[in-house]
Structure 1
Amino acid sequence: MPPGFQETAHLAQLDSPEGFVGLPHNLEVEQALLGAILVNNDAANRVSFLTADHFFDPLHQRIYATAMRLIERGQLAIPATLKTYLEADAGLKEVGGPQYLARLAAAGTSLLHAEEYGRTIYDLSLRRQLILIGEETVENATNGDTENPAIHQIEHVEQKLFNLAESGQAEEGFKPFSRSLSVAIENIEAAHKREGKLTGVSTGMRAMDDLLGGLHRSDLIILAGRPSMGKTALATNIAFNAARRWQRSKVEGEDPSKGGGAVVGFFSLEMSAEQLASRMLSEQAEIPSEKLRRGDMTSDQFRALVRASQEIEDIPLFIDDTPALSIAGVMSRARRLKRQHNLGMVVIDYLQLARPSGQSRSENRVQEVSEITRGLKALAKTLDVPVLALSQLSRSVEQREDKRPQLADLRESGSIEQDADVVMFVYRDEYYHERKQPEMGTPAHQEWLERGERIRGVAEVIIGKQRHGPTGVARLHFAKETTKFGDLAEMDHLPDRTF
């Protein structure tokens, strides 16, 4: 390298942001890599994971950005062509003008070493960002801002650190088709060997699994319904079934990850953890939940309750009942559960009760819901787990004669439908039928009674959208007293009704 070359480059550092001088950097490596690109533009392909911001020196950032723009347009990026775009650059003038570009090319590293130099620049950039996150953390923690409590600061820092870590993993770029094909074959083979032919987490209900093939990793699944339809009950049933299946596989000495079960993280933004636990006890002991609340049980029922509690106490189901949790908080806690207990599925009850990640709420509720659904989809992809999020429906359902929900009924944002891989609705005709009782003693009343018998305990899960398969309806049994969903005894085929 020519004598004094690095010192000359330091002059370009004069317009560096204040506080950057003591941060980790290596100007010689930056110069050598830029020189390699100017000598042989193929070197740029070997460092495609770099962006201009990864360079420490502002002038080097501008040189790299200009060179990459030319290369992307199919033009030659050499000192002579860059001169046209940079000769008026004040930073370049301070270090000798266009001659600096020629000296970069003369000092460039070989094509073979370009990627190694790029990795060094990338690593130093991450170190600088770590330091800046640390400084921001200290400043915020020492600031007595009552509107930014410590727990929100922790979530904010963890989100920044996670984004920083993810930016390092995202540099892999294209994957060979052979590798993707191999993973797909493994998943199909596992489904072929698995009971029920599932490729995802089992819901525990045959009709739903037949339509969905289980809940797939990296999918955002929306479960929507009007009040009293049983969407929370269905979600707790699915979560419990997945966790119990995981536990049983483990006890039987099988690989739990291949048995259709999952370790479940349940974010209950509406009900307390104790209320959810009581629901699950009611379902498993088959004792009406209202009797559990009052303690009104026979001796046999109490023994059944004890047996049920002993059977389910060790299932890997974790409940977080923090109210008004931000989407950043959900992501932070889910990542922690993934590290600690190998989380395999996330449930959120319900989407509209979550807060966006920002410190202040937006006046535009549509934008808030859009941010939440994008965050949940990112969570599903990042952790490679299915995320089941419950959602409300608009009141327009109640104005129709046929009250079966449709995609247009999703409340507040089209982004719910757009971001979701699966959208399903829970519907119970029995609920509406009970509220239409005709006058007793009339023929209409007799017809009402007969129809009530036919639809008693029948629930429909309407698959309104599915990226990986068909839409349709799964008919389930619903025990209203214990809020438990299960298979209909007579169901040997899928319904004909499709959407």
Structure 2
Amino acid sequence: MANVKMDDNRIKVQPQAVDVEQAVLCSMMMDKEAIANAIEAIDETYFYKDNHRKIFQAIVELFDKHESVDLYTITEMLKKRNMLDDAGGSYYLAELANIVPSSANVIYHLNIVKEKAIARKLITACNGVINSAYSQEKEADLLLDEAEKAIFEISEKRLKKGFESINPLLHSTFERIEELYHTSPTGVTGISTGYKKLNEFTAGFQKSDLIVLAGRPSMGKTAFALNLAR
């Protein structure tokens, strides 16, 4: 008898937390701060259920227009978009509005939704890499590049952050520059390079700097980098 390899992926349910998705949407329906927190943490693709994605989009659209966000305005918005039935209908929305008593735990709930979505995205990315590897239609180096790109894109989304006001950022940055300038007799506000002229041009290596040493082979890049590190 021939051996048959069972595909376990066919019987596995993807990571999900439908009840937590409902809690997030309920919190958004009752609290504008919860909406802002949700927009900062996730987008509609993070929801497992398609009807939850549509409800989320309707809430965000109302919020962006500075309109009232409640059961009735969300229902009307979905009606205008001919998406009310796809979103679960009026009865489902009414149930959704009473899932949680308050929005106090929305950050915790958002983190759960986010974790489940990231796990699903990883599964999809890895399955794509596995299928490409089995097909043997691409070179190994290209497969590795595609795998790294897919994982990197998921990682970038995990670190998604909202916009910050520039005023407090500028204020704290200028304060830091002023402090470093007055405490450093050489004018170096970062880490000294060890080279006087280079320090004059750069004021030293600063936080978050990406420094690239470029040059032809055997021109002393490694020796120069070692001197900088020293």
TM surpasses 0.5: yes
Tell me whether 1:38 sits opposite 2:21 in the alignment: no
Q: Match of 2:57, SS? A: helix
Deviation at 1:93, TM superposition (A): 2.2
The answer for the alignment partner of 1:134 in structure 2 is 126
Query: Which of the residues 92, 95, 100 maps onto 1:100?
Result: 92
| TM-score normalised by L of structure 1 | 0.38
- Separation in 2 of the partners of 1:121 and 1:109? 19
Larger relative contact order (CA 8 Å, sep ≥ 6): 2
- Separation in 2 of the partners of 1:62 and 1:20? 27
Tell me whether 1:121 sits opposite 2:104 in the alignment: no
Tell me whether 1:156 sits opposite 2:139 in the alignment: no
Deviation at 1:23, TM superposition (A): 0.9
Tell me whether 1:26 sits opposite 2:17 in the alignment: yes
- Separation in 1 of the partners of 2:52 and 2:117? 13
Deviation at 1:233, TM superposition (A): 5.8
Name the one with the larger helix percent. 2
Q: Match of 1:232, SS? A: coil
Listed as ranges, the gaps of 5+ residues in structure 1 are 1-18, 224-230, 249-499
CA contact (8 A) 1:37 1:43 kept: yes
- Separation in 1 of the partners of 2:173 and 2:75? 46
Residues 37-94 of structure 1: CA deviation (Å, up to 9, x unaligned): 1122332123231111111111100110110111122111212112222137777426
CA contact (8 A) 1:79 1:105 kept: yes
Deviation at 1:36, TM superposition (A): 1.7
Name the one with the larger strand percent. 1
Q: Match of 2:136, SS? A: coil
Listed as ranges, the gaps of 5+ residues in structure 2 are 1-9
Amino acid at match of 1:156: E
Closer, same or farther: CA 21–180 of 1 in aligned 2, 3 Å: farther
Larger Rg: 1
Q: Match of 1:93, SS? A: coil
Tell me whether 1:111 sits opposite 2:103 in the alignment: yes
- Separation in 1 of the partners of 2:113 and 2:91? 24
Deviation at 1:163, TM superposition (A): 2.4
Residues 226-270 of structure 1: CA deviation (Å, up to 9, x unaligned): xxxxx8369944653232232x3xxxxxxxxxxxxxxxxxxxxxx
Percent identical among aligned pairs is 20
CA contact (8 A) 1:41 1:76 kept: no
CA contact (8 A) 1:32 1:109 kept: no
Residues 134-154 of structure 1: CA deviation (Å, up to 9, x unaligned): 111100111121xx3112211
The answer for the alignment partner of 1:369 in structure 2 is none
Q: CA RMSD in A?
A: 3.8
- Separation in 2 of the partners of 1:159 and 1:136? 12
Tell me whether 1:171 sits opposite 2:169 in the alignment: no
- Separation in 2 of the partners of 1:187 and 1:159? 40
CA contact (8 A) 1:24 1:124 kept: yes
Q: More deviation in 131-140 or 21-30?
A: 21-30
Deviation at 1:108, TM superposition (A): 3.3
Q: Match of 2:184, SS? A: helix
Closer, same or farther: CA 56–169 of 1 in aligned 2, 3 Å: same
Equivalent positions of 1:257-296 (< 5 A) are: none
Amino acid at match of 1:35: C
Q: Match of 1:100, SS? A: helix
